[in-house]
Amino acid sequence: MPKVEKLLLSCSSARPSAHTSRTLIGFKSREQYMKCIKQLANFGIRPVKIFRRGRAIVCHVDSRFSEQLQSLARHPDINYIEPDFKIHAHGFVPAAENRSAGGGRQAWKSSTPLVKKQLRLSSRANARGEDDETDAPWNIKQVQAPKVWPTTRGSASGIGIIDTGIARHSDLYVTGGVNTMGGSSYLDDNGHGTHVAGIAAALGKNGMQPGVAPRAKLYAIKALDANGSGYVSDLIKGIEWCIKKKIPIINMSLGLSGENSNALKEAVERARKSGIVVIASAGNSGPNNSGGIDQPARFSDAIAVASSTRSGKTADYSSRGSGIDVTAPGSYIRSTWPGGGYMVLSGTSMSCPHVAAGAALLKSLNPGLSPSGVAKLLRSSAKKLSGDSSSRQGYGLVQLFDAASLSHKSTETARASKRTRTKSSKKK
């Protein structure tokens, strides 16, 4: 069989054309990965993206050389070959006529026509300059976040928002970020990422609207463009950046529907093994998602989040299927928006940051919590929504105060057990 580097060279192109497609290629060994990069470079071909941790590259593959491509796919040194799939944000502008039901929607648009609809809050402020439980919006109260705030507001944790970026806003503080699409700025040119960030960690100062974890550190990872779309490889690059920076929580309010990406699955696995809590939205296909919930929410290494309404029912647009872990508010959620105002959006995109920020509160209370520990607490404390099956809501509506209480009890039990073992060993 020909060497893997020669096969790859035979069907790769230095630039995109009508005959090429972006393709993700994963290698079984680092040695073959390095050989292929070197061979391509010798012939002036630079991969679109390279992933050292994942031993993978993105190349422009020419479909006219299908025989060579098939041979490459069968090569024992190749882990996978797949299209560099497009992923999309899971938020939308809700249809006003369906507001009471938390129902209908409009297709996702770029931010430009939406800015005119910004909503501004009144300038109420309490003595501390931070909103208390009374001023928190309904969705923040519904997940019990304000009940946790007297103990922590999430300052000991950080959340990587892999999305369209985060815009400048007086109610948001961004600690850092990166653009994985080839640009230099992680500022939001769509609005979706800014909205997600506000739900997670808006500061809530001077009468403005607080997020679930108002003092958690926000990191903007821009992997989606002005239309709310991006490539799987951009998403993987963002995940690897979070691993490198040791960001404890990743929020992905986006998904890949009807396709399977081995490359994305392996990236989420690497994040989890690195100790990162990965939270992902289930999707907005409602009962029509015959393929189940979207990736990466579908992966066992991610916590999958469905969407509920203000009345405590699963939203009709929320994707159904096995693998959903918990539910959080997602219908008619007001949050931060580019330009300094606020916007109302719906979708599992809006549900996801409630859970990611909830994980930040739990990690702030107990920094030693593992990803599986966080998932277990969220599931065990969730409140079942009456009349909804587990395929719609998972374990139920997230209850953060109850989760924090469970964590405290577990910690105290472990300490008591340790003290008992210590006393026993001393007696011996």
157 with 248: CB under 8 angstroms?
yes
Selecting among 77, 163, 171, 189, the annotated active-site residue is 163
Structure-block tokens of residue 127? 């003595």
The parts of the chain modelled with pLDDT lower than 50 are 97-131
Contact 202, 214 (CB under 8 A): yes
Domains annotated on the chain, with CATH: 4-84 (3.30.70.80), 88-409 (3.40.50.200)
Q: Is 163 a catalytic site residue?
A: yes
The one-character DSSP state at 380 is H
Active site residue 281: no
Query: Cα 353 vs. chain centroid, distance in angstroms?
Result: 8
State yes or no: is 349 an active-site residue. yes
pLDDT for res 156 = 92
Q: What are phi and psi of 416, to 5 degrees?
A: -65, -40
Three-state secondary structure call for residue 354: helix
Q: What is the C-alpha to C-alpha distance for residues 249 and 216, in angstroms, rounded to an integer?
A: 10
Q: On the CB side of 410, how many CA atoms lie within 13 Å of its CA?
A: 17
Residue from 332, 328, 252, 319 nearest 284 by CA: 319
Q: Considering 169, 192, 195, 354, which one is annotated as catalytic? A: 192
CA separation for the pair 125, 205 (Å, rounded)? 7
pLDDT digits (tens, 9 = 90+) for 354-386: 999 999 999 999 999 999 999 999 999 999 998
Identify the active-site residue in 349, 351, 364, 407: 349
**Rounded Cα–Cα distance for residues 253 and 350 (Å):** 7
Overall residue count recorded for the chain in this entry: 428
CA–CA distance, 273 with 250 (Å, rounded to integer): 13
pLDDT at 123: 30
- Angle at which helices 4-11 and 66-74 cross, to 10°: 150
First to last CA, the chain: 66
Please tell me whether residue 47 adopts helix, strand or coil conformation. coil
Q: CA triplet 413, 140, 348: central angle to 5 degrees? A: 100
